[in-house]
Amino acid sequence: MASHPKFSRFATVLEVDPRTKAEVAPENAWEVSDDTTISRHWKRWLLVEHVVDQEPKRHPLPNVTALASTFSRLGITSGIQVVAYDQDNGMFASRLWWLLRWMGHHEAAVLDGGFARWIAEQRPTTAGRETRPAETFAGFARADMVAKVEEVARLSETGSARLVDARAPERYRGEIEPIDRVPGHIPGAINDHFMQNVDEHGMFRPPDALRTRLTAALAGAQPGEVVFYCGSGVTACHSLLALELAGLPASRLYPGSWSEWSSDPSRPVETGPEGTRKNGPAM
């Protein structure tokens, strides 16, 4: 299990559905024990019901009060182990893992290999609705885990911290851009595609392999001096989880990511491979 070697006897298991643009869960959470059963249903129920600053970010951080209320309704409170899973490689579940950490809940993990591995190993599934009693979630947002656009702009200009773009290399280089208004990346950022964190089966690579690759990618920068971003602040969380699995200190997330950065025509954009500084305003 990614992020946490064990889970307590009673845990909340949340499903993250890749077919929507928000973190989602079934209409319930599960109480699991040693013979864990996971629902096979893929309900389209919004975990995050209320967000702020819808534009220009695609996946802005949720309203803290609404998020805490949702976690309470799902039965999450201090000491409850939460296990998030998605269809396979954890690219969506890691966002939920990060949101829980951001809200101060450290008993959070991602099911390595997700639902695909669970089914491949012929583990039990069930259908229907399951519930658990509501609890009181008393978390708070940690400002030290995020970098805002103004700080990212300063870091880009001064080079005082490492910016890491977790998107696919062709998007980083600006060769394609299927979603946002302009292609390219934040000037000075390096590229480390989050899919390098997993093997061909969608399983996280061993900690030693992750540590070797990520240390090389950071090129001497301490992880605490690094800010990760992606297209909209989702898959960069996968890389933040990989850092933890590697035993490296935590880095920060730029939640607005490329969707926010590229929305302002006055912000500089860089294209091409790493080290090619073709700065200019977003068109």
The catalytic residue positions are 230
CA distances from 258 to 38, 197, 230, 243 (A): 35, 20, 6, 21
How far apart CA 240 and CA 94 sit, in angstroms, is 8
CA distances from 60 to 64, 189, 256, 259 (A): 12, 21, 6, 10
DSSP string, 226-275: EEEE-SSSSTHHHHHHHHHHTTPPP-EE-TTHHHHHTTSTTSB-B-SSTT
Do the beta carbons of residue 269 and residue 279 sit within 8 Å? yes
Closest CA to 165 of 225, 229, 217: 229
Closest CA to 67 of 47, 81, 84: 47
Closest CA to 183 of 194, 193, 191, 171: 171
DSSP code at position 87: S
Do the beta carbons of residue 180 and residue 259 sit within 8 Å? yes
DSSP string, 143-177: GGGB--HHHHHHHHHH--SEEEE-S-HHHHTTS--
How far apart CA 200 and CA 265 sit, in angstroms, is 38
Query: What are the tokens at 82?
Result: 């939460």
